[in-house]
Structure 1
C-alpha cells in the first residue's frame, strides 16, 4: 500500500514537472520574427467579423515615439487587394499562433500599391491606457479663436496636439528595423518614416454644405476623413437586437460619438481587445486628449468605398454601450456599461415666416470640443433656417447652466450680413473662456436658447 502511494506521488510530481506552463495570451514584440504569419480580424461589411492574413515583415523600433515600436506587416485577403489598408480598420486585432500581437493602426498613406500596415503592440496599448486622473485645464492652448473658420479650428486642434510628444519619426535615422539583414535595414527605416495612423472615418449628419466643409477641412489635417452620413443608426442596424445580447468582440466595429440628437458627429474604428468590461481600440489616438468622457457605441459598416487615394469604411455609430475614458498615443480605451454625461443644447427657433422649430444636440463634455461643437451646431442651425448671406436679424435669449455657479444669461440682437456668425460667437465666447480657465475645472450642465 505504501509502495503504491509513493509511486502515485512520484508520477504526479513527474507530470507537474513536465506539464507545459500556460501560454501567455499576448505575444511580446521581442518574440516577433520576419516570416511569421498571422490572422487579423475586422468588419468589411455589416457587423460580421471577417479574417484576413498577416505576413510579418519586421519590427520598426522607435517609429511612433521614443521606445514606441511597430510591427511592419503585409495584409492579404478579403477586399484588401483592391482597397489597400482601409480607413476604419484602425484597431483590427492581429493574432500569431493564437496569441494577440496588437492592432493594425498605421498605413503608408495615400496611393500605396500594397496593403502594408504598422501594428501597434498590445502591451503598449494596455500600458498607455492605464487609468489616470481627470485632465488638467488646457488653458489658452485649447482655447478656440472666435468666430471659427476652418483655419482657426485647425489651428486650435493643432495647438492641443502639439502639447504631446512628437508622434512620428521624421527621419530614417530616428528608427531601425529589427530582424532583417543590415543591407535591408535602411530601406525598412525609410519605409517607417512614411507610416502614419490610418485615417479615421468621421460621419457628419444634419450639417449643411458650408458648415460641413469647415469641419471636414479642419479635421482632415488631423487624420480624419469626414463624409455626409445618417444620424443615430441604432434602428437601422439589422442585427441590433441580436448584437445587444452579445459582448463586444475583438474585430467588431466601434464608434465614438461627439454629437448626438438632431445633429450627429461620430468617428468609427475597430475593437482590438475586450478584457472583462475593459475595451481597447484603434491602436492610435483619436485626438490624444488623455483622460476623456466620450460615448462608446456600436457601429455598422454599410459598405466599403474603394479609392486609389485612400479607401474607407462607410460606417455609422449606433447605440451607446459604454464610455471611452482614455485617448492616448497608442490606443483609445474605456469600459462597457453606461455612457458618460453629455451637455444638452436645446434650441427653440422662430423664423421670420412664423415657423417654430425645436432642436436638441447632446455634445461631449470637453474643454476644447464642447465650445467648438456648440459653435458649429448653432451656426449650422441658424444658417439652415434663415439667410446664410445678406442682411438679416437674430434676437438671441437664453441661459447656460454652470454647475455650482448658477446660470449665465444671454440676451442680444444681431443684424447685418451673416448675423448667424455673430449670434453663435456671442453664445460660445464665454463658454470657451470658462471651460479653459486657469483656476477651476468648470462643468457645463446645459444650454437653453
Structure 2
C-alpha cells in the first residue's frame, strides 16, 4: 500500500469511530430522558410483573425531582396509579421496575415511605444506573466463575486465574485477612461485615438508611426451611435491607412458562441457595443490554463486586400489607451473575456463570426419618457463604430430627479446597434443646476452613465442595464444670498442688477429679490464675502461619469439646513467629525481640502452663481460682 494513502485510511477509520460513538449517544438520548427534562405533572407509565412472567403497565405522574438525594444522585418522585398499587402502596420486589416518561426510560422504581398511605415512589434516574452498567470489573474478581461468552480472540476460560504466588488475595470482601489466630464461626464474617457498615454499632441495627424515604425492601423468598431457621436467617439479613419471607423460592413450572431471558420489567432472582432448600432475593429488571442488565434501582447489600448467581423469576402474587407489601415469587431459569452491587443499581453480566458450592448433608441415627440426605448449592461469597451453609446444615438437622430432647452429635466434615487434598475433620457436640438448639453447629471447624479459603493472605483458593455426615444420639453424655478448689490458696514456687475439679451430670451425683499441677519457679511472688474449661474454648498459642498448609494444620490442632483443659496463666509473655513460638520471656528480652522484629514478624501472647485430659464426654461451663505464689519456698 502506498505510504501516502495510510494517513487517509487512518483518518477515515477515526471519523467512522466518532460517527458510531455519536450515533450510540444519539440513540441513548432518544431512548432515555434526563432529569433536567422532567417537570411536575408529566405522565408516563411503568412496567412490572404482578403475576406470572409478563410485565404489565401501571400509570405514573411526576410529583417533582428531589435533588441530591444520594451522593451524586437525584430522585424522581412519582405517584403510581394501578388497582394493585392503590391497595398495596410501596411493594417490595418492585424495585427496578422501569419508569417511562415521554416514551423514554426515566429510571427505576426504587424507594418508598415506610407506612406511607399514598402510592408514592422514588425513582432512581436512569443516568446513574447506566453509569454503573458501563463500570468495568477488576480482572481478579469472581474466582471460579465461567465466562460463557469469550472476548474476541480468546477461548472460553475461567473469569479469573488462580494465583499460586505469595501475594494476598485481591478479594477479602472488605474484611481482615485470616491468619488463623481465632476460631471463626458461621456468623463471624457476617457480623464483622455488619459492624463495619454501621461503624462499630450493633450488628442488628438496620443499615438501609435514616428516617424518611427508604429504598424498597428486597424480599428474600425462603423455601423448604423450618420456621426456626427461617427466623434465624431473617434476623441475620434484616440489617442489610433484605426481608426474608417464608414463601417458597424454588420454581418447577412447565418449560413453556419459564422465562429464559431477562426482559425490561420482568422479575429477577438472586440465587443465594438452591436445591432442597432455597433463599432467593427478588427484584425487577430495569433495562436489558446486549451483555449486561441493570435492576433494582438501589443496592442489594451495597457490596460492590460480588459474583452472585442470578436468574429469571416468576411472580405468584402481590400480598398487600399495612406494614410491608411484597411480591411472592420464585426463581426460574439460572442466568448470569451479579457483578456490581452499587448504590444506584445491581448489574448482571449475561456471559458469566457464577461459582457455587455444592453441599451434601447426611443425617445418621434417626430411624424411620423420611429424608436423611440434603443437597444444595450455595453462592460463593466470604460474607454470605458461611451463614448460608449453616442454614442448610441446621435446616437438615431440624427437619430430620425434630425431637425436643437431649442430642449428642458427631459431625464428620470433608471440605474440598482448590489445589488441596480433601480435608477431613471431626467435631463432637451437644444440643441441650434438641436439633432446635443449633448453636453447637455454628462452631463446626468447617467454618474455619471456609474462612481460610476466602481470607488467607498466602494463595488464592476457594471451596469446591462440602460433605457433612452427622451421627445423632439421643442422650446426654455431657459434664458441666461447676467448681475447682485446692487445699490452700497460697503455694510455694516449684511445688505441686492438687486441683479438685467438680464435674456435674444431670441426674447423677457430682464427680470430683483430682489433677496434679506443678507451680513453676518463675511464678514466685506472683498471683496466678487457674482456669478449668473445655478444650474447644481454648485459644492455643500457635506459631504464625507461613502458608495455607500451616493454616489448615492450625485448624486440625484446635482442641475438641471432650478435652478438659487446666490452664495456669503465667506472669510472663511469649512471642509467636513464623513456624515457632518462644515462651516465658522476661520483660527485657521481650522488648528487645520486639525492637528487632517488626510486628508483622512477631506477635506477643500471654504464656500458659497447660494440661490436657480427655474425659470422653462433652464438657460445658468453666471454673477458675487464684493462687498466691510465695516469693521463696517455706522450707528455705
TM-score for both structures, normalised by structure 2: 0.58
With over 3 angstroms needed to count, the CA separation of the structure-2 counterparts of 1:236 and 1:393, relative to structure 1, is farther
Distance 1:311 1:267 in 2: 15
Of Structure 1 and Structure 2, which has the larger fraction of its residues in helix?
A: 1
Matches within 5 A, 1:28-427: 28-64=34-70, 66-109=71-114, 111-129=115-133, 130-133=135-138, 134=141, 136-138=171-173, 140=175, 155-156=191-192, 158-159=194-195, 161-162=197-198, 194-235=212-253, 239-240=257-258, 243-244=259-260, 247-337=261-351, 339-353=353-367, 357-387=372-402, 389-415=404-430, 417=432, 420-426=438-444, 427=446
Maintained 8 Å contact 1:139/1:437? no
Q: Shift of the alpha carbon at 1:238?
A: 6.4
Tell me, in whole angstroms, the C-alpha distance in 2 between the residues paired with 1:285 and 1:440.
30
Whether the 8 Å CA contact 1:206–1:262 is kept in 2: the answer is: yes
Q: Distance in 1 between matches of 2:35 and 2:112?
A: 19
Q: Which residue of 2 aligns with 1:6?
A: none
Match of 1:448 in 2: 467
Structure 2 segments unaligned to the other structure (5+ residues): 1-25, 142-169, 200-205, 469-636
Moved more, 308-317 or 212-221: 212-221
Alpha-carbon deviations, 1:326-369, whole Å to 9, x = none? 11111111122563121011122212427572221100010111
Instruction: Please report how far the alpha carbon of residue 421 of structure 1 lies from its aligned counterpart in structure 2 after TM superposition.
Output: 3.2
Contact map agreement 2:268 2:311 (CA 8 A) in 1 = yes
Give CA-to-partner distance per residue, 1:260-301, whole Å, 9 cap, x none: 011110011100001113111000111111112222211111
CA distance in 2, matches of 1:69, 1:42: 22
Query: Closer, same or farther in 2 for the Cα pair 1:384/1:34, shift >3 Å?
Result: same
Question: Cα distance 1:440–1:138, how it changes in 2: closer, same or farther (>3 A)?
Answer: farther
- Post-superposition offset of 1:383: 2.4
How far does the alpha carbon of each residue in 1:353-402 deviate from its partner, in whole angstroms, 9 at most, with x for none? Answer: 27572221100010111111111211221122225654212122231111
The offset of 1:43, in angstroms, is: 0.7
Match of 2:150 in 1: none
Mapped to 1, the partners of 2:87 and 2:299 lie a distance apart of 27
Range moving further from structure 2, 358-367 or 135-144: 135-144
Is the Cα–Cα contact under 8 Å of residues 197 and 207 in structure 2 kept in the other structure? no
Conserved? CA contact 1:379–1:421, under 8 Å:
no
CA contact (8 A) 1:401 1:444 kept: yes
Greater mean deviation of Cα atoms: 223-232 or 71-80: 223-232
Do the aligned residues in 1 keep the contact of 2:207 with 2:240 (CA within 8 Å)? no
C-alpha separation in 1, matches of 2:319 and 2:293: 27
Distance of 1:421 and 1:96 partners within structure 2: 52
Asked if the contact 2:79–2:120 (Cα under 8 Å) also holds between the matched residues in 1, the reply is yes
CA contact (8 A) 2:307 2:380 kept: yes
Q: Which has the larger radius of gyration?
A: 2
The Cα shift of 1:302 comes to 0.7
The Cα shift of 1:218 comes to 2.4
Residue-by-residue CA offset, 1:408-441 (whole Å, 9 max, x unaligned): 2212322352575324421223313442334444
Distance in 2 separating the partners of 1:352 and 1:31: 67
In the alignment, which residue of structure 2 is the partner of 1:190? none
How far apart are residue 141 of structure 1 and its match? 6.2
Alpha-carbon distance in structure 2 between the residues aligned to 1:34 and 1:411: 65
Q: Flag the 1:148–1:409 CA change in 2: closer, same or farther, 3 A.
A: closer
> 2 CA distance for matches of 1:223 and 1:141?
24
Classify the secondary structure of the residue corresponding to 1:375: helix
- The match for 1:8 is none
Distance 1:168 1:392, change over 3 A: closer
CA gap 1:395/1:294 in 2 versus in 1, 3 angstroms:
same
| 1:3 matched residue in structure 2 | none
1:55 Cα deviation after fit: 1.1
| 3-state SS of paired residue (1:214) | helix
Any conservation in 1 of the 2:108–2:125 contact (CA below 8 Å)? yes
2 CA distance for matches of 1:331 and 1:56?
Answer: 21
Tell me how far apart the structure 2 counterparts of residues 376 and 282 of structure 1 sit (CA, whole Å): 26
Any idea what the Cα deviations from partners look like across 1:220-273, whole Å, max 9, x if unmatched? Answer: 232222221334213367622xx33xx421100111110001111001110000
Query: Which runs of 5 or more residues in structure 1 are unaligned?
Result: 1-20, 171-192
Following superposition, the deviation at residue 310 of structure 1 comes to 1.6
